[in-house]
Structure 1
Amino acid sequence: MKLSAGGTPTRQATIIFAVVMAAYTLSFFQRFAPASIAQDLSLAFDTTAASLGVLAATYFYVYTLMQVPTGVLVDTLGPRRIILLGGIVSCVGSLWFGLADTLTQALIGRTLVGLGVSVTFIAMLKIIALSFDERRFASLAGAGVFVGNIGAVLAGVPLAYAATELGWRNVFVAVAVASLVLGTLSWGMMRGSAAMGGVKVDRTVVMGGLLSVIRNRLTWAPALANLGLAGSYFTFAGLWAMPYLTQVHGYSRSLAATHLSLMYAGFAIGCLVLGFLSDKLHRRKSILIVASTVYVAIWTVWMWGGAMSATLTMALFFLMGFSTAGFTLTWACAKEVNPPQLAGMSTSIANVGGFFGAAVMQPVVGLLMDQVWSGATMNGVRVYTLDDFRFGFSLVVVMAVLGLVAAFFIRETACRNLWVDAQLKAGA
C-alpha cells in the first residue's frame, strides 16, 4: 500500500485504518471491563482483592509479553495475518471467560483475551507508518486511540447497565462474536495489499533490528514514561476506580460507572487533542510534561480522599483521563529516535511499559489492601476503608511520579525522525 500523489492516503488505506480502529475498540473494552463488573466477578468467583486483581491483570500479563513479539511479527509477517489470528484467539477467550464456572476458568479466558487483542494496536501503528505521512503520525495514532476509547466508554455505564439487565456473561459472548467478525473483515479488506502481508526477512536481521532498538538509549525514556504514566492509569481505571468510588465516597454503582465513562471519554478526547496539538506545534516533550504534571497532581486528591461533591469528582475524573492521554506521545517519541523500518519494534518497546506496570500493580494493590483489611464485608463482598486504599495506591503514585520524571529525559525531535534527517544531511 502506498500514498497517492501529494502524500494523500489511498481510499483502501483509509478504509483499512477504520476497520482496524473498530477492532481496537474491543481491546479497550476488554481492558477496562473488570472495573464495571468487579462486584459481579467477586460474587461469581468468591474472590479476595488480591485474586480479583490477578484476574483483571491476567490480560495485562499476556499483553505485556506479546508487545515485543508483536512488533517483530508486524514488521515481518505484516498486520493482515496477525489481526485475523488475534480476532480468532480473542473470540475463544471471551467465550471462555463468559461461560466460566470457576476462577481458574475465568483466568484462562482472560489470558486468551489478552493474547488475542494484544496484536491490534501495534498493527494499527504499523498501518499508519506504512500508509500515511509521518508528520501526521501522532495525530492519527491519537485518532486511533480516540476511537478505541469508545470501547472504554462502553465498559463504563453501558456495561454496568447491560450486566444488570442481561447478565455480564451474555455481554462477553456477544463480544466474542464481534471479535471474530472484525478480525475476518480486517483480513478481507487487506487482501491484495503487499505491504499489509509483510516481507520475508532473515532472522538475524530481525534480531539485529530489535537489539538496535533496545540498545538505543533514547528508546528508554519514552518506555519508562509509558511504564509510570500508563501503568498507573490502567491499574486505577482498569479495576480499582470503581471500588474506590463506591466504598470510599459512597457512590452508587451507576454514579461510579458514570465517573468511569467520563474518565474514559476524557482520555479519548485527550488523545485526539494532544496528538493534534503535538503535530501542530512540532513538540512532544513539553506537552507530555505538562499533561503528566496535571495527572500526578490529581493523584494527590485521591490519596487525600476527603468529602467532595459528585460534580467535582466527575470533573476530576474527566481531567484525569484527559491529562493521562499525554503518555500516547511516547509512541511517537520512541519511533522518531529509531529507524523508520523498525517502527513496529520501537513502538512496541515503548508500549510494553504501561502494560507491564498494570500487570504488576493491579494484583499488588489488592495484596497491599488485603494486608490492612479490617475484615468488614457487605453482601458477601469485602469492604475497604480509605486508609486501605491509600496503602494500596501508594505504589501507584510512586509509578506515576516515575513517569513524570522520565518525561524530562525524552529527546525532543520536533516531530521528525532523527535517522531520516541524518540520512538527508549525509546525502546533501
Structure 2
Amino acid sequence: MAAVGQHAVISSSPLRIADRAYVAWGTVAFAYAIAFLQRMSPQTIGLSFMRDFGTDASGVAMLASSYFWGYTLMQIPAGVLVDRFGVKRVVLCSMTASVLGSGAFALSPNLLDVFIARVIMACGDALVFTALLKLVAQSFSDQRFGLMSGISQVSGYVGGVVATTPLAAAVTGFGWRACFLFIAGIGLANLACASVALKAAPANAKSSTLQGVLRACWHALGSAANWGCAMSFASHFAVVTTLAGVWGIPMVSHYFGISPSAAGGPLLAFMVGNAIGSIFLGHAADRTRSLDAALIRISLLRMLLVAMLLPVVAHHFGLIYVGVVFAVLGLVAGGTVPLVLKCTKHLYTAERIGVGASINTTSAGVFAGLAQPVIAFAMVAASGLDVRAGASAGKVANDAGYATLIAILLLMSLPGIIGPLMMRRQLILDTKI
C-alpha cells in the first residue's frame, strides 16, 4: 500500500507542476491581453478623445505615439531585466506600472497628463511580451515553441478584439474614462493572481550577472542577422499596429459613413484572423525549414492586402469586401509573429531570447513611434481639412488622406523584405548544425 501511495504521489507531481505552469502562463497571457487592448485603443476612443480635448488628428497621433515611446523606453532594458531577474519579478513590476498608468490616463485633465499616463502605462505593458516569451521558452520544448508562442499571441489578440466593437460600445455607453478605470481594476486583480501563481527564478538563472547579460546584448548588436530579425519584426509591428490600432476604425467609418461601433466589425475580423493565424501558422512555423523565404512571402502578401484597402478600391467593393481583406490581413499578421519568434530563438538561443526580444521590440517601438507624427502630418496635409472644423465634425481625414496613409504603410513594409535576406546565411548555418 505504501508503494502504491508513493507511486501516486510521484506520478501526480508532474501533473501538478504542469498545471501550475499553465496557470502561471495564463496570468502573464492575460496581462498581455490587457497590454494589447491598451495599445489598440486609440482608434476606438479617438473621436471621443478629440471632442473631450478639442484636438484633431495630431492629438490622436500623440495618443498613439506616447504609448510607443513608453513601450520603446522599456524595451531597451526589458530583455536584460527578464534574463537577469526572472519572469516573476519583472511581470509583477510590469503589471503594477500598467495599472497605475491606466488609472492615471482615465483621470487625466489635459493632454500633458494624458501623455505622461500613457507613457507610464506603456512602460509597464512593454515588459509583458518579453517576459511571456521567456516563460514559454523555459516551459515548453523546442518542438512546441512555435505553437505555444502562437497561442501566447492569441491572448494579445483577444485584448485586440475587445479593443474594437466591444470597447466602442462601452465607450458609447459609459465613456472612455470609466472604461479605463475598469481596465485598471481588472489589471489589479490579475496582479494579485500572478503574485501567487508565478514561481521565483531558479537559482541557476540568478547566477547570470547583469554584466554578462549586457555583454551578450552588445555582442548581438554587431550581427547583421540580428538586425535583419529586428527589421522584420519592426516592419510588421509598425504597419499592422498603425493600420489596425490607430487608423483602422476612423478609416472604415469615413469610407462608409458609419458609426465607430459599426466600423469596428472589420477590425474585429482582423483580430479573429490574427488569433487563427497565430495558432495554425504558429504550428506550421515549427515545421518550416526556410524561415527567411516564408517571411519574405508573407511580407509581400501583407503589402498586397494593405494596397487593397485604398479608398477607390474600398468604395467600389463595399464594406463586406473591406471586412474580408482585414480578416485575411489578420491571418497573415498572426502567422508573421511565430515565424519571427522562431528566427529569434535560432539566432539568440533560449538562454538569451530575452535580449533578442528586447532588440526586436525596441526597434519596432522606435519605428512605430517616429512614424505616427509623420503619418498624421501627411494625412492632414493631403486631406486639406480645416483643423478645428474637422475636429468638431469628428472627421480625421478624407479619401486623399487615407490614400496617403496606405502609401506610407507600403513604404514601411519594405524592411520586412530586406530583413529576412540579412538573416538567411545565419539561419542556414543554424539549420545545418
Partner of residue 381 from structure 1, selected from 385, 388, 394: 394
**Which range is displaced more, 358-367 or 110-119?**
358-367
Distance 1:369 1:281, change over 3 A: closer
Instruction: Kindly state the Cα deviation for residue 204 of structure 1 after the two structures are TM-superposed.
Output: 2.7
Q: How does 1:104-119 map to 2 (within 5 A)?
A: 104-119=112-127
Q: How does 1:337-356 map to 2 (within 5 A)?
A: 337-356=347-366
Q: Is the 8 A contact 1:330 1:350 kept in 2?
A: no
2:323 match: 314
CA distance in 2, matches of 1:402, 1:201: 34
Distance 1:123 1:59, change over 3 A: same
CA distance in 1, matches of 2:264, 2:254: 13
Specify which structure has the higher proportion of helix: 2
User: What CA deviation, in whole Å up to 9, does each residue of 1:75-132 have, x standing for no partner?
Assistant: 0011101111111111111011111121111111111110111111100111111111
Kindly provide the amino acid, as one letter, of the partner of residue 418 in structure 1: D
Q: Does 1:156 find its partner at 2:164?
A: yes
2:418 match: 405
2:4 match: none
Q: How does 1:206-245 map to 2 (within 5 A)?
A: 206-245=213-252
Instruction: Kindly state the Cα deviation for residue 216 of structure 1 after the two structures are TM-superposed.
Output: 2.1
Instruction: Kindly state the Cα deviation for residue 16 of structure 1 after the two structures are TM-superposed.
Output: 1.1
- % same residue: 26
CA distance in 1, matches of 2:274, 2:207: 38
Q: SS in structure 1 opposite 2:206?
A: coil
Q: Is the 8 A contact 1:79 1:196 kept in 2?
A: no
Q: Does 1:295 find its partner at 2:308?
A: no
Q: Is the 8 A contact 1:331 1:350 kept in 2?
A: no
Distance 1:203 1:147, change over 3 A: closer
Q: Does 1:138 find its partner at 2:146?
A: yes
User: What CA deviation, in whole Å up to 9, does each residue of 1:333-382 have, x standing for no partner?
Assistant: 02211243211101221233332222122222111122232325374434
**Which range is displaced more, 95-104 or 322-331?**
322-331
Distance 1:269 1:336, change over 3 A: same
Q: Is the 8 A contact 1:336 1:418 kept in 2?
A: yes
Q: TM-score, normalised by structure 1?
A: 0.90
Instruction: Kindly state the Cα deviation for residue 392 of structure 1 after the two structures are TM-superposed.
Output: 3.7
User: What CA deviation, in whole Å up to 9, does each residue of 1:209-254 have, x standing for no partner?
Assistant: 1112211222111111111122111111111111111123323322
Distance 1:166 1:412, change over 3 A: farther
Kindly provide the amino acid, as one letter, of the partner of residue 241 in structure 1: G
Instruction: Kindly state the Cα deviation for residue 304 of structure 1 after the two structures are TM-superposed.
Output: 4.9
Partner of residue 68 from structure 1, selected from 45, 66, 76: 76
Q: Is the 8 A contact 2:50 2:59 kept in 1?
A: no
Kindly provide the amino acid, as one letter, of the partner of residue 294 in structure 1: L
Q: Does 1:44 find its partner at 2:61?
A: no
Note the residue ranges of structure 1 that are not aligned, 5 or more in a row.
423-428
CA distance in 2, matches of 1:396, 1:9: 45
Q: SS in structure 2 opposite 1:336?
A: helix
Q: Is the 8 A contact 1:136 1:279 kept in 2?
A: yes
Distance 1:412 1:266, change over 3 A: farther
**Which range is displaced more, 257-266 or 243-252?**
243-252
CA distance in 2, matches of 1:259, 1:390: 18
Aligned length: 416
Instruction: Kindly state the Cα deviation for residue 282 of structure 1 after the two structures are TM-superposed.
Output: 4.3
Q: Does 1:391 find its partner at 2:418?
A: no
1:58 match: 66
Q: Does 1:324 find its partner at 2:336?
A: no
User: What CA deviation, in whole Å up to 9, does each residue of 1:117-151 have, x standing for no partner?
Assistant: 11111001111111110222121111001122110
Instruction: Kindly state the Cα deviation for residue 156 of structure 1 after the two structures are TM-superposed.
Output: 0.4
Q: TM-score, normalised by structure 2?
A: 0.89
**Which range is displaced more, 163-172 or 365-374?**
365-374
Distance 1:128 1:195, change over 3 A: farther
1:90 match: 98
User: What CA deviation, in whole Å up to 9, does each residue of 1:32-58 have, x standing for no partner?
Assistant: 011111101111111121222011121
Q: Is the 8 A contact 2:273 2:331 kept in 1?
A: yes
Kindly provide the amino acid, as one letter, of the partner of residue 335 in structure 1: K
Q: Does 1:359 find its partner at 2:373?
A: no
Note the residue ranges of structure 2 that are not aligned, 5 or more in a row.
1-11
Q: Does 1:175 find its partner at 2:187?
A: no
CA distance in 1, matches of 2:342, 2:305: 25
CA distance in 1, matches of 2:372, 2:280: 29
CA distance in 1, matches of 2:76, 2:429: 21
2:136 match: 128
